[in-house]
Amino acid sequence: MRYDFNYLRSGLDFILKQSSLAKIKPRRILVPAFICPIIPEVIRRNGFEVKFADADLESFNIKIRDADLDGVGAVFVCHTFGAKCEIPSCKVPVIEDCAHFLSKKRAGDFALCSMYKQVANARGGYVECDEDLSGAYEHLMTDRIGITDFPEILLRTKGPHQPVFDFLRSLNELPVCDSVKNEKWNVLKASNLTKKMFARGSADASHALNIEIYNEMKYGFEHLGLGKFFKMQQMPEGSVPFNFSIRVIDSSISRDDLLLRLRRSKVFADRMWYNADTSGIPNAEILARTIINLPMSLKSLAILKHVIS
């Protein structure tokens, strides 16, 4: 069954309150330390304890040791930037974060999917599971998309406006996230416009094209000699890359300074998740300060080579 929400975090909040997850014992959830910080925040707000697991430096996915599963009532697994993560064999429920992997078929007990990260949309996310939660879901109010949301939609839409948007964005500094502890949200059903835009956009999304461009970028990365400075994210078989993710391995390069120079050249790479709650966990800390997510474009590699020369 599928339930559409105004935000993906709303979907997580909803299942932690309304599904069988609400009754898990012990009330502790294993979460990747390298993850969007809103995830542990939502979990804590629902009265659960968060236990962090470290990341694999190759795939950037959660790296679960046997000891990590001790004393947990559920496991949260993220397919980081579209890298397919193996679902752990365990006796507790598994929540899959498929926000960057739109075509992923659910293998865990719950799947969280984005309605805007790969489709032109203002916001939205949905949950897939086998549980019938319609009774609680139907009591939710419905989100509304207003005029103030359209700049965000345009930002995600290719068209004649894009050069103007790119110029304005290139003048800005790197975006800084507010503390998630101050984040507020209402758990709402997704708006009808959000659902219509997602249905149309997801039908047009070409995951095969993403893989084709990614493979071309892999060749370009090696041909340009960028492996001296960066290491590519490893994509296990069955992955669908969300972007071209690399991490800085040259200690003389300032990741944030490099991202700013790329921005001035109209390449809008990002640093997800620089503000992760890494809690002193070694590999997660490395990823949080070294990750660069390049857009799927050969041009971005050429400009990256130029700005480090």
Contact yes or no for 234/83 (Cβ under 8 A): yes
CB count in 10 Å sphere of residue 247: 17
The strand pair at 28-32 and 74-78 is best described as parallel
pLDDT at 212: 86
Sheet of 110-114: strand order equals 2-5, 125-129, 110-114, 94-97, 74-78, 28-32, 49-53
pLDDT at 238: 92
Q: Give the residue numbers spanning the domain of 273.
A: 207-308
Rounded Cα–Cα distance for residues 63 and 86 (Å): 10
pLDDT at 207: 64
Rounded Cα–Cα distance for residues 12 and 19 (Å): 10
Q: ∠ CA(200), CA(107), CA(80), 5° rounding?
A: 70
Which tens digits make up the pLDDT trace of 58-69? 999 999 999 999
Rounded Cα–Cα distance for residues 292 and 133 (Å): 38
For the chain, how many structural domains are there in total?
1
pLDDT at 205: 62
pLDDT at 209: 64
In a domain, 118, yes or no: no
In a domain, 299, yes or no: yes
Which CATH number does the domain housing residue 302 bear?
Answer: 3.90.1150.10
pTM score: 0.93
In a domain, 110, yes or no: no
Amino acid at 51: K
**211: region left, alpha or beta (phi > 0 left; psi from -120 to 50 alpha):** alpha
Which tens digits make up the pLDDT trace of 35-88? 999 999 999 999 999 999 999 999 999 999 999 999 999 999 999 999 999 999
* Burial degree of 19 (CB within 10 A; 0-12, 13-18, 19+): buried
pLDDT at 158: 76
In a domain, 250, yes or no: yes
In a domain, 121, yes or no: no
pLDDT at 177: 83
pLDDT at 208: 60
pLDDT at 72: 97
In a domain, 273, yes or no: yes
- Which parts of the chain sit beneath pLDDT 50? none
Nearest to 119 by CA among 156, 154, 81, 161: 156
**Cβ-defined contacts of 139-147 (< 8 Å, 24+):** 140/14, 140/187, 140/188, 140/189, 141/186, 141/188, 141/189, 142/188, 142/189, 142/190, 142/191, 142/192, 143/5, 143/6, 143/188, 143/189, 143/190, 143/191, 143/194, 144/191, 145/191, 145/193, 145/194
In a domain, 251, yes or no: yes
In a domain, 157, yes or no: no
Nearest to 41 by CA among 190, 185, 188, 189: 185
Q: DSSP letters of 178-204?
A: PPGGG------BPPHHHHHHHHHHHHH
